[in-house]
A = this chain, B = another copy of it.
Amino acid sequence: MTGEKKVTALDLEQLEKLSPETEAYFRKCEEKLGLIPNVLVAYAFDDRKLRAFTDFYNDLMLGESGLSKLEREMIAVAVSSSNHCYYCLTAHGASVRQLSGNPALGEQMVMNYRVAGIDDRQKAMLDFAVKLTETPDRIEEEDREALREAGFSDRDIWDIAATASFFNMSNRMAAATEMRPNDEYHAMAR
């Protein structure tokens, strides 16, 4: 990884050579996304950690779910807004803009999802995700019931919870390490 720019505030001993799987995965990222997300570069000092992270992430955000990919990205951004996470707001704000084709929607998720004029189902989804973010200890059965009334199955509730929870982890890794997003995100899909 010689010559790689520093993507966090930590000085971690880098691998002399990425594993072939990581190399392949990074090349795939470059092909599909036009860049290697800096979060992956950050985890690349340890092959096992990188794999665990990407396995978890890819199942969550790209796997089968009753939630669309856009909806999962909307959760990611609304949660990251509550946590004021520069890395995730930048990277996943771009995803919302891209997947929705609606730049204003991306900005609304970054700034305050409550003004976005989304439908009741998505509003309930984000209300749950943000309450889970801010006061997890206050979640009670009536919160789950509100999701069911908005049309979500219990399996969907798992996915809403899992997405919101994951970004509460990622937001904190980014904050703790001052992870810097790739510059390219800023101009994407504006």
Residues of A within 8 A of B (CB): 9-13, 48-49, 51-53, 55-56, 59-60, 63, 81, 83-86, 89-90, 103-104, 107-108, 110-112, 114-115, 128, 132-133, 136-141, 144, 154-155, 157-158, 160-162, 164-166, 168-173, 175-178, 180, 183, 186-187, 190
Instruction: Please pick, from B85, B115, B166, B168, the residue contacting A178 in the complex, using a CB distance under 8 A.
Output: B115
Nearest chain B CB to A185's CB is how many angstroms away?
9
- Of the candidates B9, B52, B103, B137, the one whose C-beta lies within 8 Å of that of A52 is B52
Residue among B85, B115, B132, B169 making CB contact with A112, cutoff 8 Å: B85
A161 contact from B83, B89, B176, Cβ within 8 A: B176
Q: How far apart are the CA atoms of A169 and B63 in the complex, in Å? A: 19
> Which of B162, B176, B187 has a CB less than 8 Å from the CB of A132?
B176
Given known contacts A154-B12, A173-B162, A137 and B63 CB-to-CB distance under 8 angstroms? no
